[in-house]
Structure formats: C-alpha cells, structure tokens
Amino acid sequence: MNVKSRLLALLEDGGAKPCDGESSGGCGNPGGNGSLRSGEFSRGVESSGGGGYISGEALASELSVSRNAVWKAVESLRADGYEISAVTNKGYRLESSGDVLSAAGIMSHIKTGGLFQVEVRKQVTSTNTVLREMAERGAPEGFVLVAEEQFAGKGRLGRSFYSPCGYGVYFSLLLRPGSKTGETTLITSAAAVAVARAIEEVVGVRVGIKWVNDLFVNGKKVCGILTEATFGMESGLVETAILGIGINITEPEDGFPEELRGIAAALVENNSGAIRRRLIAATLDEFWRYYQNLSAREFLGEYRERSIVLGRDILVLTGGGQRPARALEIDENCKLVVRFENGEVATLDSGEVSVRV
C-alpha cells in the first residue's frame, strides 16, 4: 500500500489501539501492512485528546514519512471526496468517508498486500474493454480498473450490462495465468464464489449461484461476471484473462430499466457506508486465495452448494430455442451435466440456462 492508502486505513480506524500478539492483517488495519501499531503511535493518539483525532507527528512516525508527506496525503484524500478535519494540537480526524470510491479507499481494505494496483475512473465504455487495451500496453497481473459508470458495460452472449453512476460496483481484474483454455471456466466459477463470500461478509445476505456466472439473492440477479481471454497463437495457452464483475448495490432512483424489472435486484435499500470499496476489496482477497492454486479447485464444493439449478428443471437456451432439461451435476471442470426430456445426457461448457418455474 502507498502512503495515501495506509493513512486512510489509520484514519478509518480512528486511532484504535493495537491488539496483543501477532496478526498477519495488522489487527485493526484493513490494509494488512503486517505491522502492529507502535507504542509511539498510541501515545500520539492519546495525546491528541481522543475524539478520533490522530496527531500529525504520530501519523508521520507510523507511516515512516515526513509531516509534509502526511499533509499532502490528507489533501489528496480530500480531493477524492473524503471529509477530514484538522485541529491544532489535536491532529486529523476522518469525519465522513461516505461511499467515496477511490483507489486509496479500496486499497485500505485489501488484506492481500502487494498484489494489486487499483485505478478508479469516473466513466468508461467498459472496464473489460479498457483494461484489455491496458494489458496490451503492458499492464501487470493484478491491475484492477474500477469505474463509477459504464456506458457500454458488457455482459455474456453479447448483451449489455446496465451500469448507472453511483448505484453499483463495476470493476475488472487483469490476470496472466499462462494456463490451458479450459481453466477460463474455473476463473469465472472461482470468482462467483469469491463475490458471494464477499457479499455475505459485507452485506450479510445469502447468495446463490446460477451456472455459470450469475449471482442471485432472493430469486433475483444482483451480480454478473464476464471473463474474456486471449490465447497465444503458438502455445494455445491463456496469455491474459480479463475478469469483469458488476454488482447492483442500490436500485436507481427511477428503478431498473423495463427489461430488467422482475429480474434484477439490489443488495441494499440505502448505501450509507463504504459498501462498494469494501466489496471490491473483499472480492479481490477471496478470489486471489483461489487463483493462486486454481487447479486445486478449492472453491468447487462451495460452488456446488450455492447452485440454484442443481436438481431442478431448467431450460437450456440455444441458438435454436429452448430445451427442457434436468440439472444433474456440476463436474470437476465446472461444466453443467444435464438430462434432456428424451433421456439424452449432455455436458454443457457454455451457454445459458434458466430455472423453470
């Protein structure tokens, strides 16, 4: 984490004292810089008179930077939209962070240190499209592009993904797996479990997965995932994979578009906190744990448990229409095994299904 992200993590904690013992996450430090707060930092908090204020001297010492560097970081955070007060002989205090979406804010919640580089933009065509262009110019694995709004958001099968400003989470992660073609499905499936776990951690609602890439809450879609890969001409291996994730946080003031009403839903009625940046951070942490050893398929058991199609009658959507079937199982490669009404058993590695009511 850079100075700005680490400073925000300290201010968001409000000067919380360190815990006893060791902690890989830095106990009370969402950024996971791996170090407990120093005694000097605690004294700096106490000497500021409480009330959540932290002296500039204590912050500078804890961050191993100059007082001037602390001031510059504070000003940069203010420019991002964070409300930070400064009082002589007391120090700095974070008054309100609201749901400001900034790279520093996201990084302050990430526990997997040193792996991600985050960039936030106000508006893009599609985070997947823009990140692919950045990948072609040499962006590293672990680069995360976040947008407040997409005006050409991408869904599966050539569909668009509705991405209004301020009402959702839209981001893409660049991967350079160097793996076989079949593992792109594993990436999508691992991401689905990661997002489900992140939503439950941050929002506290149970999430189901509709094969292969949609997340549902109370029978309605709250998240879509799209993985796009490029392959080496000679090796045939996946050179880059762009993992795109879109989550509906709150419903737009005018509601969802007509074509999405009755299908889409939002996670919360009112977003009064740091839900968006916490969701992004938690998703990245959860996903990276699986991605480090993707072939082990540690996510597969939970993917199956969360399935909302297994054991149910479904419609398999094809270019020629719909075929009624029964969802039997999800195999080791996250393919869906179905039995059609004529008794034919097939394994689906792509396409779309819907649950028959």
Residues 91 and 184 in one domain: no
Residues 34 and 10 in one domain: yes
pLDDT tens string 163-181: 677 788 999 999 999 876 6
The pLDDT value recorded for residue 278 is 93
Phi, psi (rounded to 5 degrees) for 210: -100, 120
Residues 222 and 331 in one domain: no
DSSP character at residue 30:
T
Per-residue pLDDT of the chain (357 residues; tens, 9 = 90+): 689 988 988 988 764 433 333 322 333 333 443 333 444 554 454 444 446 899 999 999 999 999 999 999 999 999 888 889 999 989 999 987 677 889 999 999 999 878 999 999 999 989 999 999 999 999 999 999 999 888 866 655 556 567 677 788 999 999 999 876 667 889 999 999 999 999 999 999 999 999 988 999 999 999 999 999 988 877 778 899 999 999 999 887 777 777 777 888 889 887 767 899 999 999 999 999 999 999 999 999 999 999 999 999 999 987 778 999 999 999 999 999 999 999 999 999 887 888 864
Residues 180 and 196 in one domain: yes
Decide which of 71, 96, 121 is a domain's last residue.
Answer: 96
Strands (E), the chain: 83-87, 91-96, 117-124, 143-150, 168-175, 208-210, 214-217, 220-231, 238-248, 313-318, 321-330, 336-340, 345-348, 352-355
User: Helices (DSSP H) in 242-349: which residue ranges?
Assistant: 275-291, 300-305
Residue 73's contacts (CB-CB under 8 Å, 6 or more residues apart) are 3, 4, 7
Residues 267 and 134 in one domain: yes
Decide which of 96, 126, 142 is a domain's last residue.
Answer: 96
pLDDT tens string 37-61: 444 554 454 444 446 899 999 999 9
* CA dihedral (122, 127, 130, 136) positive or negative: positive
State which H helix or E strand residue 332 sits in.
none
Domain span including residue 321: 313-355
For residue 7, the domain's CATH number is: 1.10.10.10
Residue 3's contacts (CB-CB under 8 Å, 6 or more residues apart) are 63, 65, 69, 70, 73
Partners of 273 in beta bridges: none
Residues 24 and 45 in one domain: yes
Domain count, the chain: 3
Residues 159 and 289 in one domain: yes
Residues 91 and 107 in one domain: no
Residue pair 67/107 in contact (Cβ under 8 Å)? The answer is: no
Residue pair 315/306 in contact (Cβ under 8 Å)? The answer is: no
Strands 143-150 and 117-124: parallel
Residues 191 and 240 in one domain: yes
Residue pair 187/227 in contact (Cβ under 8 Å)? The answer is: yes
For residue 337, the domain's CATH number is: 2.30.30.100
* CA dihedral (9, 15, 16, 20) positive or negative: positive
pLDDT tens string 56-76: 999 999 999 999 999 999 999
Residues 248 and 212 in one domain: yes
| Cis preceding linkage at 212, omega within 30 | yes
Q: Tokens standing for 312?
A: 């149910």
Decide which of 42, 61, 96 is a domain's last residue.
Answer: 96
For residue 273, the domain's CATH number is: 3.30.930.10
Residues 287 and 211 in one domain: yes
Residues 261 and 343 in one domain: no
